[in-house]
Amino acid sequence: IGLSEDIGQGMVFANGARSHMAESLTAVSATARSSDEFFIGDMIPTCISDDLEAAKAVNRKTLTSYAMLPNYRNYWKEAGYEDEMNGIEAAIEAGDRDRIPHFLTDQWLADTTLFGTATQVRDGIEAWFDAGIKTPILVPSSAKGGQMVAFEEMLAIF
């Protein structure tokens, strides 16, 4: 993260933990964090649906492949999700990849993704701004259809 200031003009997180973002951003100076010239973005899996369980299931499916990557698990452990990530590691070790979504808890989903009604997603975007993300990058998925449906659902809430 510190290199984003040393050799770049910003950074893009992918699937960052909102509750840990302030801590993560301490690796760059307050000057950089407050500068309009320094980019701070986060790619956030997003599913807009009145059916919260369906939306959570979509985000779990989307993030299961990321949860299999050690670098993501290490970050999420640092962010306070050690039990969840240890469970995933045990499932991988046992060859039981179907069990991985079980460890992507509702709390973890609420911290790393956006899901729910239009109002809940818009409020979630504001929470990401409050956490220090200057540019939330919504990565839409749909509980009702493919990628084009997801984009239509996302654009309709603004």
What mean pLDDT do residues 68-72 have?
A: 98
Residue 8's pLDDT band (cuts 50, 70, 90): confident
In total, how many domains does the chain have? 1
DSSP string of the chain, one letter each residue: -THHHHTSSEEEEES--GGGHHHHHTTS-HHHHH-TTSEEEEEEEEEE-S-HHHHHHHHHHHHHHHHTSHHHHHHHHHTT-HHHHHHHHHHHHTT-GGGGGGGS-HHHHHHH-EEESHHHHHHHHHHHHHTT-SEEEEEEE-SSSSHHHHHHHHHHT-
What mean pLDDT do residues 57-75 have?
A: 97
What mean pLDDT do residues 146-156 have?
A: 96
Residue 1's pLDDT band (cuts 50, 70, 90): confident
Cα–Cα distance for residue pair 78/56, rounded to 1 Å: 23
Q: Supply the range of the domain harboring residue 62.
A: 3-156
Return the closest-CA partner of residue 123 out of 12, 2, 3, 18: 18
Residue 70's pLDDT band (cuts 50, 70, 90): very high
Q: Could you report how far apart the first and last alpha carbons of the chain are, in Å?
A: 31
Q: What is the mean pLDDT of the chain?
A: 97
Distances (CA, A) of 45 to 5, 108, 135, 155: 25, 12, 14, 15
pLDDT at residue 83, rounded to an integer: 98
Share above pLDDT 70 across residues of the chain, in percent, rounded to a whole number: 100
Which pair of structure tokens corresponds to residue 92?
């991988």
pLDDT at residue 122, rounded to an integer: 98
pLDDT at residue 96, rounded to an integer: 97
pLDDT at 10 > cutoff 90: yes
Which pair of structure tokens corresponds to residue 1?
């993260």
Residue 57's pLDDT band (cuts 50, 70, 90): very high
pLDDT at 34 > cutoff 90: yes
Residue 15's domain is classified under what CATH number? Answer: 3.20.20.30
pLDDT at 136 > cutoff 90: yes
